[in-house]
Structure 1
Amino acid sequence: MNAPSPLLTRPGAVRATGPDEGVAAHYGHPVAEQRALERGIGVVDLSHLGVVTVSGPDRLSWLNTLSSQVLTELAPGASTELLLLDPNGRIEHAAAVLDDGERAWLITEGAAAQPLAAFLDSMRFMLRVDVTHEASIAVLGTSAAGPDLSGLVPAGHAAALTWTDPWPHTPAGSTRYGPEDADHPGSQWHARLTLVAQEAVEGVVSAAESAGARLAGAWAWEAMRVAAWRPRLAREVDERTIPHELDWLRTAVHLNKGCYRGQETIARVFNLGRPPRRLVLLHLDGSEHTTPEPGEEVHSGDRTVGRVTSVVRHHELGPVALALVKRNLASDAPLTVAGIAAAQEVIVSPEGAGTGRPEAAPGPTLRRRNL
C-alpha cells in the first residue's frame, strides 16, 4: 500500500476506508464535489492506486501472451486495459495500460500492485523485460473533458502520462453482454488518469485549482464509476468472477488473439455457455437513512440471490449499488438488501449471450428410409 496522501491535511478532508484507504473520501462537500467532477472541473486524488512498469524490447509481446488483451500494436500514448486470469478463466488482476515507447505502465489497485509485479516477475523467463513496482508514482483522476494535468507538472519532474478509459467502447474483436455503446450510461462519463511523481501531487493539484478546478474525493469518483456500470477489481471481483459476468469483455478482452491463461473458459462461455451470474444496478429505497455495505446479501423473498459489490449516493440517482446476482433471476423480481427495498436495472442480459456469438448448431435429425 502507498503512504497516506499529503492532501489528507486539506481542511475538511475525511479519510476514505476499504480499498480507497490513504486518500480522502471527500473534503466536506461530497455532492458539490461530485457535480464538479461531472461538469469536468473536478480533480480527484487517487494516489492510493498502484503503478507497475514493464520495460525492455519484449514488453508488449510478452504482456500480450499473458493477458486477455491484444498489445502487440499498442502505440505510444494509446490507452487500453487488460485482465490476467487463472487457468479457469477467473479474474486475478486487472490493469489500465499505457505505453510511452520505452515502458508499459500498468495502473491497478494499491493492494494489488505488489502481487501483480511479483506475478509478472515470476513469468519473465529469458525474455528481455524488467518489472518494477513504482511506489513513488501517484495517480490523479479527472473526466476526459476535464483539466489537462500533464502540463501542470512542476519543473524538474518527469513529464506526466495520461490514460483515458476506453469504457464502454466495444472495439472490433470484443463483445458486449449489455446495451450498445451509444445507449450505455458509461458513454456519458469517460475517466482519465494522470501519472505524476508523489512529491508533485500537491503542486499539480494547486496549479489546477488556480486554473479553476475543484478538488474532489474518492466518493465522487466512485459515484461516477457506479453510474457508468464500470467494474472495479477491488469491488466487483471475487474468487469466482469471470469477465462475462461484469460485461468486462467489451473493453478488456479480445476474442481473436492467441493463447493465454484462462482463454479456454473465455471462449467456451462465449461460444457455448452462459455466465452463472450477472451484474445489475440496484436502485435502493431512498427513504432509508442508511445504505447497505459492500458484501451484503441480496434477497428475493427468502432466497439469497446475490451480493452487493459497490454502494454510492449519486447526486441524481440517489442511493444505488452494483450487485452480482444469479443470471436466471427475473429482472422484475422484488429484492431487498439488509432490509432495504431494491429494484434492479439490467446491465448484463439475463440471456447470457454476447454479441457476435456463433449460432447454435442444429440438433441431429432423423434419417428416413423409403421402403
Structure 2
Amino acid sequence: MSAASAFASRDGFVAASDAPGAPAAHFGNPLGEQRLLARGRAVVELGLGVVTVSGPDRLSWLNSITSQLLLGLEPGVSTETLVLDQSGRVEHAARVVDDGTVTWLLTERDDAAPLAAWLDSMRFMLRVEIADRSADSATIGWFGSAPFADVDLPETPAVEWVDPWSSVTPGGWGYAAQEAHAGSDWTLRIAVVTPGTASAIAGSDEPAAGLLAYEALRIAAWRPSLSDVDERTIPHELDWLRSAVHLSKGCYRGQETVAKVHNLGHPPRRVVLLHLDGSDGVLPAPGTPVVLDEKEVGRLSASGIHHELGPIGLAVVKRSLDPGATLTLTADDVVVSATQEVIVPPGAGATANVPRLPRLGAVRR
C-alpha cells in the first residue's frame, strides 16, 4: 500500500482519486495553481510509478525489446520508450534515464507493476534485475529550473528526468507542424526522490499545484501519455514517433508495423486538440464519445480547463474525419460542441512516397 501523499497536509488538499497515497487534484485554486506551474513557480506531485533495471546488460536488453535507441545511453541523458505488441499497439510507456549503474523507468502508477512483471518475464539468461520502486519513491515535477533549489533537502534526488517533447528526438519523426508546435516550450522536469525528501518539499514555502493544473498544460502542449492509449493505439496516432520511437535502430517487437505505417500507409486514427464550448459549465470526461451527425467518430482521451485556452481536450478520431467539422460530446446530459485543432494530419505516414501500381487488368486511359 502506498504511503499518504507528502502534500496531504497542505491547506486545501483534495486528492486526485480514492487510491491510497493519491497526489493532489488541486489545493483549492486549480487555475491559479496552473499559472504558477506554467511559469516555473510551483511544483506538482505526479504520483508516477518507478521501475528500475540494474545489471551490465540493462541498456542493450532494453534496447532490444522497446522502441527507442537505448544502447549506449549516457548517464543523465533523458529519453522515452514504448513497449509494443506484435501488431505495433502500445502496451507500456516509460520515461527513461540512466545513472550509470541503474536505468530508471517512470510510468503511470497503475502500470508500474504490469511493466515490471513483463520485463521480468523477458529476462531469460541476461544479467539484469528488475524492481518496482514505486512504494519508496515520489515523483516531483516542475517547469524550467528547479523551484525548490533553496529548500534544505535531506537527500539529493535519485535521478532527474528532462522531457524531450520540445523537439523531434534523433531517429524520431514529427507528424505535427513543427513551426509554432504547441510543445516547443514544454520544459517539464521530474525528480525521483524519497518520501522524506518529498515531505521536506511539501513542508517548505514552495507553491504547489495539483494534477488538474498539470493535465491542462499537458493537453495544451499536445503531449501524449499512457492515459491516452486504448487497446488499438499505435504510436503514429498520437504523434509519439516524435519522442519515443527511433525509426532506424533495428528490430524489436512491433517494429514492422511502425515501419510499414510510417513508410507505406497511414495511421487509421489521429489525435486532435478539441476546443470545447464551456457555455454550460460542464467538462466531458475522458472516454466520452466524439460524435458527428449522430455517429461516433472517436473518443476523448483527456480533458481539462486551461488558464488561457479554456476547456480543451485530446481526442483520437478517425483519420478520414473532416478537420473542419464541428463535433459534439455529451457531459451530464448536456451536448457540448467542439472544434478541432489538427495535431496529426489526415495525410500522416506514407513517407516513402512509393507510387501505387495499377491493378492487374486495369485499363489505362
SS in 2 for 1:63: helix
**Is 1:359–2:356 an aligned residue pair?**
no
Alignment equivalent of 1:350, drawn from 323, 346, 351: 346
**Is 1:229–2:222 an aligned residue pair?**
yes
**Is 1:271–2:263 an aligned residue pair?**
yes
Partners in 1 of 2:20 and 2:78 — Cα distance? 23
Deviations 1:309-360 (A, max 9, x none): 1010001000001001001000011210111010010010111227xx2121
Answer whether contact 2:23 2:211 (CA < 8 A) is retained: yes
Partner AA of 1:78 in structure 2: V
Aligned partner of 1:245 in structure 2 is: 237
CA root-mean-square deviation: 2.0
1:94, distance to aligned residue in structure 2 (A): 0.2
Residue pairs, 1:89-104, within 5 angstroms: 89-104=88-103
TM value normalised by structure 2:
0.93
Aligned partner of 1:369 in structure 2 is: none
Answer whether contact 1:276 1:327 (CA < 8 A) is retained: yes
Partner AA of 2:27 in structure 1: Y
1:205, distance to aligned residue in structure 2 (A): 3.5
1:146, distance to aligned residue in structure 2 (A): 4.4
Quick check: which one's helix share is greater? 1
Residue pairs, 1:296-315, within 5 angstroms: 296-315=288-307
SS in 1 for 2:63: helix
Alignment equivalent of 2:274, drawn from 255, 273, 282: 282
Aligned partner of 1:316 in structure 2 is: 308
Answer whether contact 2:3 2:21 (CA < 8 A) is retained: no
Deviations 1:9-61 (A, max 9, x none): 22111111389970111101111100001111110012x21000000111000
Aligned partner of 1:217 in structure 2 is: 210
SS in 2 for 1:351: coil
Return 5+ residue gaps in structure 1 as ranges. Answer: 367-371
Deviations 1:222-257 (A, max 9, x none): 1110000001102x1001000000000010000001
SS in 2 for 1:6: coil
Partners in 2 of 1:24 and 1:247 — Cα distance? 29
Answer whether contact 1:69 1:253 (CA < 8 A) is retained: yes
Aligned partner of 2:32 in structure 1 is: 32
Partners in 2 of 1:187 and 1:2 — Cα distance? 35
TM value normalised by structure 1:
0.91
Return 5+ residue gaps in structure 2 as ranges. Answer: 361-365
SS in 1 for 2:203: helix
SS in 1 for 2:316: strand
Deviations 1:189-218 (A, max 9, x none): 2211001012221103334x3xxx311111
Higher mean alpha-carbon deviation, 9-18 vs 279-288, is at: 9-18
Residue pairs, 1:1-371, within 5 angstroms: 2-17=2-17, 22-46=22-46, 48-134=47-133, 135-147=135-147, 152=151, 154-155=153-154, 157=155, 159-180=157-178, 182-207=179-204, 209=205, 213-234=206-227, 236-338=228-330, 339-353=335-349, 357-361=351-355, 363=357
Q: What stretches of structure 1 move > 4 A for 4+ residues in a row?
A: 18-21
1:177, distance to aligned residue in structure 2 (A): 1.3
1:172, distance to aligned residue in structure 2 (A): 3.1
Answer whether contact 1:153 1:196 (CA < 8 A) is retained: no
Structure 1 residues 330 and 36: alpha-carbon distance in aligned structure 2, compared to 1, 3 A threshold = same
Deviations 1:82-110 (A, max 9, x none): 00001110000000001000000000010
Deviations 1:282-307 (A, max 9, x none): 10112121111110100111111001
Higher mean alpha-carbon deviation, 195-204 vs 328-337, is at: 195-204
1:176, distance to aligned residue in structure 2 (A): 1.3
The size of the alignment, in residue pairs, is 355
Answer whether contact 1:69 1:254 (CA < 8 A) is retained: yes
Identity of aligned residues (%): 51
Deviations 1:136-184 (A, max 9, x none): 01100100344265x85633x354421010003113321111111x421
Structure 1 residues 69 and 345: alpha-carbon distance in aligned structure 2, compared to 1, 3 A threshold = same
Partners in 1 of 2:303 and 2:63 — Cα distance? 34
Partners in 2 of 1:343 and 1:318 — Cα distance? 13
